[in-house]
Amino acid sequence: MSVVTETTPLLSDILADLKSEAGLRTAAHEALEQLGLPGNKSEEYKFTPITRALEKNFQLAKKNPSSEIESIDSFSIPGIDANSIVFVNGVFAEKLSHYEQTDVFIKSISGTENGFGTLADFKTDPFVAWNTAAWSTGISIEVKANTSVSKPIVLHYVHDSAAGEVKSFIRNIIRIGKSSSVTVIEKQDTLGDQAGFSNIVTEGFVEENAELSLFSLQADKGKRFHFGQTTIWQARDSRVNSFTLTLDGKLIRNNFLLVLDGEGIESHMDGLYILQGDTLADNHTVVDHRKPHSNSNELYKGIIDDNAKGVFNGKIYVRPDAQKTNAFQSNRNILLSDKSTVNTKPQLEIWADDVKCSHGCTTGQLDDEAMFYLQARGIDKVTARAMMLYAFAGEVLDKINSEPLKKYFDTLISERLHKNF
């Protein structure tokens, strides 16, 4: 990764703010100093001016306001009985959280967990470095072998910015034992109208034959700026199903890396972004096939309106050992306005010679001929448009394997697309 170094006052502020501690935090602190923050020439952040957005909207010296939120009921997901973990302004809100430890061990993160810091690479990405040096809270989720965790675990990343801007640095670690399964759902919400920046790094270890379903719901109506790094390591015969739905936020950057480090692995990485206003959503994904006989399937779709911007960058690596790999990737976008944009870049790097791989991306407008066909049957333009867009989005939605969650996402999408049929 090439990061064009930038020494800005912001960087000095960040570095001054970090306490010098021993171990990983110090190493990350130094890495950040070396890397600098990405400028506008940085390849990895070319379309996502996150440094400038932070400079413009935040004063790092300001401490987070305290929060007196008493309930997050309005943020809960209907129809889902979940273990719910709540973070408010970068602090684990024990009082607002409720969870059982019957089939899963959930505890506040310490930084000494087995594997901590080994997946999320702070030496290449400055925001991961910043998180590694500055994280204040987070959760460790551990599932023993042969356990199917009955309730999904919902991680609520709440900002209460009524009394001032918020910065939150959260660090999670998930470890799923052999032949076990768990569902984790991340959700962002804001109370208050000041800006908030979240930097969330999650490392996941999916052991042999285990299964992780990971959903991320990014529909924060507040002034959310977000950087996320999720890195999941998969052992042989394991499964990962992921789905990222982005509807709102000021600037959302998702780095998502799957490491397929065994045979017989099945990975699904799906996403849908339906953007309006001036939202910028950037999905940078990597699927790294290291061993033979594994399958990955990635589908990201976008509908972009107004001044919104979509960015997609999808890398697939097929290492020399990874013969008989099946790896598919597709990114399809519909632009609805003259000012909406999308930048999409699929990258396939294959070192093995006996594999099936494909990637493709399309960007277009709504199909005029299809619109005319619907209208010629008596359907008004607004409904015809909603039908087409809903059908486009539905292909990704159909891949969700949890019925209540699919229903909830469907409600959000229908509302966004003005579905009236």
Query: Quick check: 388 binds another protein (CB under 8 A)?
Result: yes
Contact (CB, 8 A) for 244 and 270? yes
Is there binding between residue 61 and another protein (CB under 8 A)?
no
Interacting positions 143-172 with another protein (CB under 8 A): none
Pick from 70, 73, 353, 368: which binds another protein (CB under 8 A)? 368
Q: Which is nearer to another protein, 15 or 379 (CB)?
A: 379
Q: In what order do the strands lie in the sheet with 326-335?
A: 91-92, 83-88, 153-160, 181-191, 211-219, 239-248, 266-275, 295-304, 326-335, 356-364
Cβ contact 382:389 at 8 Å: no
Count of residues interacting with another protein (CB under 8 A): 24
Question: Which lies closer to another protein via its Cβ, residue 348 or residue 397?
Answer: 397
**Residue whose entry in the numeric block shows the structure tokens 């910015």:** 161
Smallest gap from Cβ 308 to another protein, in A, equals 22
**Binder of another protein out of 392, 405, 408, 416 (CB under 8 A):** 392
Helix (H) or strand (E) holding 84: strand 83-88
Span 183-242, contacts to another protein by CB under 8 A: none
Return the residue of 23, 380, 411, 418 that touches another protein, per CB under 8 A. Answer: 380
Task: Please work out, in degrees rounded to the nearest 5, the angle formed at the alpha carbon of residue 153 by the alpha carbons of 105 and 274.
Answer: 150
* CB nearer to another protein: pick between 381 and 418: 381
Q: Does 418 bind another protein (CB under 8 A)?
A: no
Stretch 264-303: interaction string toward another protein, x if CB under 8 A = ----------------------------------------
What is the C-alpha separation between 233 and 294, in angstroms, rounded? 13
Q: What is the DSSP string of 130-168?
A: HHHHH--B-EEEEE-TT-B-SS-EEEEEEEE-TTS-EEE
Q: Choose the stretch contacting another protein; rule: CB under 8 A; options: 116-124, 265-273, 321-329, 392-400.
A: 392-400
Distance CA 237, CA 231 (A): 18
Chain center to CA of 398: 19
Nearer residue to another protein within complex by CB, 286 or 379: 379
Site string for another protein, 393-412 (x = CB under 8 A): -xx-----------------
Q: Does 390 bind another protein (CB under 8 A)?
A: yes
CB 274 within 8 A of CB 393: yes
Segment contacting another protein by CB under 8 A, of 205-213, 253-261, 386-394, 410-418:
386-394
| Number of helices followed by number of strands (H, E) in the chain | 7, 19
Instruction: List the structure tokens of 171.
Output: 């660090």
Give the interface with another protein as residue ranges (CB under 8 A): 367-370, 372-381, 383-384, 387-388, 390-392, 394-395, 421
